[in-house]
């Protein structure tokens, strides 16, 4: 990861970590769908949310794990937002769940029982992880119109 890439991801993390809603776009059989989800992110730009498997976006992700996300960081002028495309997976790693869920619980004041239920295999919600392949930041507050959007590519 180059220095510019690292600086931009630090800015995104700082600005987006307190935003409550993210839009997740899915598609099955050439029919798009979008859903609002509560989320947390890590410093590597992975985005996590909880959902039950029977929700439409969850069902569609089980057939096609390609998705897009959008986060409106600042909705008044000058605007800041991001869009990304990537893949989604269900997180089964209890160590990762134990790392992510306390942050989620603190942010949204819910989900405190999730880890205990997950260890017992009794949680109806799953943890979903979006890993970006391409991310575009639109940041009118910190960059000129000629610099926007800033595109970041992520490698596995």
Q: Which pLDDT band holds residue 3 (cuts at 50, 70, 90)?
A: low
For residue 21, what is the enclosing H or E element?
Answer: strand 21-28
Reported as a single tens digit per residue, the pLDDT across 79-123 is 999 999 999 999 999 999 999 999 999 999 887 788 888 888 888
Q: How far apart are CA 98 and CA 80, in angstroms?
A: 31
Helix spans in the chain (H): 3-16, 56-63, 94-108, 114-120
DSSP structure class, residue 142: T
Q: How far apart are CA 31 and CA 43, in angstroms?
A: 32
Q: How far apart are CA 85 and CA 132, in angstroms?
A: 6
Reported as a single tens digit per residue, the pLDDT across 63-79 is 999 999 999 999 999 99
Q: How far apart are CA 139 and CA 82, in angstroms?
A: 8
Q: Which domains, from first to last, does the chain contain? A: 3-143 (2.30.110.10)
Judged by DSSP in three states, 42 sits in coil
């Amino acid at each position: 990861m180059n220095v510019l890439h690292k600086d931009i991801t630090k800015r995104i993390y700082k600005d987006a970590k307190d935003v409550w809603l993210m839009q997740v776009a899915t598609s099955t059989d050439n029919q798009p769908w979008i859903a609002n989800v509560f989320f947390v992110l890590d410093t590597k730009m992975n985005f996590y949310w909880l959902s039950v498997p029977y929700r439409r976006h969850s069902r569609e992700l089980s057939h096609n794990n390609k998705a897009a996300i959008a986060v409106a960081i600042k909705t008044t002028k000058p605007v800041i937002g991001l869009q990304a495309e990537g893949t989604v997976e269900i997180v089964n790693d209890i160590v990762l769940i134990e790392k992510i869920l306390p942050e989620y619980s603190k942010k949204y004041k819910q989900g405190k029982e999730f880890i205990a239920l997950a260890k017992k295999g009794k949680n109806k919600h799953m943890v979903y992880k979006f890993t970006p392949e391409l991310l575009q930041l639109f940041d009118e507050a910190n960059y000129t119109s000629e610099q926007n959007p800033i595109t970041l590519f992520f490698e596995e």
